[in-house]
Structure 1
């Protein structure tokens, strides 16, 4: 008995269906929304020129001759609105650029207009005039859990569009000193130089983060960070309308709630931000907040610690009214406060540390070269004072305290209070120089 087996050929040149566990079908819809970004800018350099005596032809002096050189950088971005041509990337990708070029997956290139940027969160909003765009709208990142699978898409090392796969390793990472406002998604999906501004998406194709930084500096070691989409969405809405984020301040110095403090206050709530000081005339002062209040929620969202409160306020524009839930004397209380622009302020250094005695500190004014990124300026230093002996000089700008960025005198006060007797590690910038100073 002869058995014949007939195998039907595949119709035409149709590719075999993807395996059941493949995310290729999802990525095919996502990849066109992720773009490559290249920038160029002219930087000023100095070239030392030898001057010759016109009679003896002997050298008699040197002179610095200004020259210009064009520098270039590469990064990534995400189209979030196809009709408006909006592209999101990192601020540091386009910072100082004279020209920005966005290249799509289909290799079309367009000159981009910078609509606005926010160094505090490291986000920039671009716009291109193009048709047939594919957008990947910002999703709700608050539902993410540790262990969720995610995909990082970008342009690492200028190789072109690249996809890497991993999990959410941690949520709510703060205190890294990478940005002014931090609430990072940590992932082990490979993120490398050039991925900045790219997309972090779920296996369902939801945009949950903008890749922004890596641990280690030069390459991937399995620890990368993305800005949550929910935070990005709050910033983009302000950049689109105003071109900047005009942050307000609540006007409190605070510390994290701990179990020990909760026991001391006689309450069972172990999370929140404890108000240790209310600045006179601030939004908090006008709202009726007092020292000892424990802020446990803002606008209906729980506050886990002082960093969470700072981030929540930092996402709002000055003039917004917020609703705070506080615990005072063991009882819960609702307070409304209208956050306001930070006012010029000065304070004697000894209020923060005995080693800063003799220094007068103040907020940067709008005309200061570092006003955009923020800091605290050393206005005066008394000769031979503790601050003088520590190395502080008038004109210095303190940009971080214990590796945490500081944008104002109020933030400096809060970070100094958190340090207690452990000492302060100050990152100081002056002119074209910078150094770290340890205050003990």
Structure 2
């Protein structure tokens, strides 16, 4: 076939050649096995995210039925000005100017001295026993618990422990959903954690994060501190609700958050469930918290002094005995001021706060063994604990 001489001439300039090469390379990339691998990898990542989302959904659905909303009516503390006001308005010479009755005045006085609060909790047995924070129900004159199905019950206080901020309450109900309790000693930094509760009265709110740290003490929230730190959002109203792991087991009681603005800043604290379980058992049994007592004052040993002891690597922390109470179990033992304690019952301690908590949670009357250092010598010391 003769060539069409009228057809436009195809001139391949350097720029045109470059564009053609780029187009060709792009097509080769799209059709290459590497491109398919990248798409496959992206699909795998999306599937992983979908699996994570599904896991969160499954945990939320499993846990939420056992989480409750707690509404509390509280008696406010009266001060001298309240007493002076009552005395003034109860004066017959003053009452005649207002024309109200004694009942009206009592209602007004009650209203002035009543406040309301709210928080969260979770059911730990089918008979209606609920774990929450002591500060949620502090000074309560009336406690109302609302279940996930909307039913409301009056609650009574079984016991509370302000020193750890743990409380146990009960409602008259049965066959309730129960939240299983996990093991907070097995937590690792980076583990997933979900917080469930009623922040700002937003009932059944679920937030997710990770375990940021464990064994937090000296936070200034309670007397006995061993907090789990999390970045799962905790806000006012979350108090008393559960912190759960990815398997839907309670690993802590959400208690407080650190803030400079009044709102969430990514630092929340939960009481470890292993501590809460011991306290709940004693509250259930005695109606109050009983603690074992050794009768010593202790403080963390400075790192430079710890190094001079040339301890085994397994002992990364130690507690220095700074005081010994008179007529205490410690005073009756061979323990001395200046002794350094590195382990209790063959388990290394994580510092003074850890030792203090472990002693307190031991059974009163039980016998413990402390591993001590004195004058370059290591020795075990067995002591029977008293009760505080």
Using structure 2 for the length normalisation, give the TM-score. 0.75
99, 109, 112: which is aligned to 2:142?
99
Residues 91, 123 of structure 1: 8 Å contact kept: yes
> Aligned ranges for residues 357-368 of structure 1 at < 5 Å?
none
Give the structure 1 partner of residue 358 of structure 2. 312
User: In 1, distance between residues paired with 2:301 and 2:233?
Assistant: 35
Cα pair 1:322 1:339 within 8 Å, conserved: yes
- Which runs of no fewer than 5 residues in structure 2 stay unpaired? 1-48, 98-104
Looking at structure 1, the residues matched to 368 and 280 of structure 2 have their Cα atoms a distance apart, in angstroms, of 20
Pairing partner for 1:31 from 52, 64, 70: 64
**2-structure distance, mates of 1:186, 1:267:** 29
In the alignment, the residues of structure 1 paired with residue 366 and residue 285 of structure 2 have an alpha-carbon distance, to the nearest angstrom, of 15
1:116 is aligned to: 159
Provide the residue aligned with 2:110 in structure 1. 68
Cα distance between partner residues in 2 of 1:220 and 1:29 = 26
SS in 2 for 1:189: coil
Following superposition, the deviation at residue 72 of structure 1 comes to 1.5
CA distance in 2, matches of 1:254, 1:36: 39
Is the alpha carbon distance of 1:270 and 1:168 closer, same or farther for their aligned partners in structure 2, counting shifts above 3 Å? Answer: closer
Change (3 A) 1:53 1:126: closer
| Pair 1:35–1:333, CA change in 2 (3 A) | same
Relative contact order (C-alpha < 8 Å, sep 6+): which is higher?
2
Partner of 2:295: 251
Question: Residue 261 of structure 1 aligns with which residue?
Answer: 305
* Alignment of 1:149 onto 2:192: yes
Which secondary structure does the structure 1 equivalent of 2:150 belong to? coil
Indicate which of 304, 314, 319 corresponds to 1:273. 319
Query: Could you give the per-residue CA deviations for residues 82-104 of structure 1, whole angstroms, max 9, x where no partner exists?
Result: 1x321000000001111111111
With over 3 angstroms needed to count, the CA separation of the structure-2 counterparts of 1:280 and 1:100, relative to structure 1, is same
Q: In the alignment, is the contact (CA less than 8 A) between 1:259 and 1:270 conserved in 2?
A: no
Larger radius of gyration: 2
Q: CA deviation at 1:79?
A: 0.5
Q: Secondary structure at the match of 2:330?
A: helix
In the TM superposition, residue 163 of structure 1 has moved relative to its aligned partner by 0.3
Instruction: Tell me what 2:246 maps to.
Output: 203
Following the alignment from structure 1 to structure 2, what is the Cα–Cα distance between the partners of residues 322 and 155?
Answer: 41
Q: Distance in 2 between matches of 1:231 and 1:336?
A: 23
Residue 259 of structure 2 is matched in structure 1 by: 216
Q: 1:132 to 1:287 in 2, by over 3 A?
A: same
Contact map agreement 2:180 2:248 (CA 8 A) in 1: no
Output the CA distance in 1 between the equivalents of 2:184 and 2:387: 29
Match of 1:322 in 2: 368
* Per-residue CA distance 1:36-79 (angstroms, 9 max, x = gap): 0111134454547477979xx9xxxxxxx872123211100010
Q: TM-score, normalised by structure 1?
A: 0.67
- What residue in structure 1 maps to residue 336 of structure 2? 290
Give secondary structure in 1 for the equivalent of 2:297.
strand
- Contact 1:257/1:270, CA 8 A, preserved across alignment: no
The Cα of 1:325 is off from its aligned counterpart by 2.1
Q: Is the 8 A contact 1:89 1:125 kept in 2?
A: yes
Change in 2 beyond 3 A, CA 1:270/1:210 = closer
Distance in 1 (CA, whole Å) between partners of 2:306 and 2:122 is 44
Alpha-carbon distance change, 254 to 162 in structure 1, aligned in 2, over 3 angstroms: same
C-alpha displacement of 1:199: 0.7
1:280 and 1:232 map into 2 onto residues whose CA distance is: 30
Name the counterpart of 2:276.
Answer: 232
Check conservation: 1:258, 1:271, Cα contact below 8 A: no
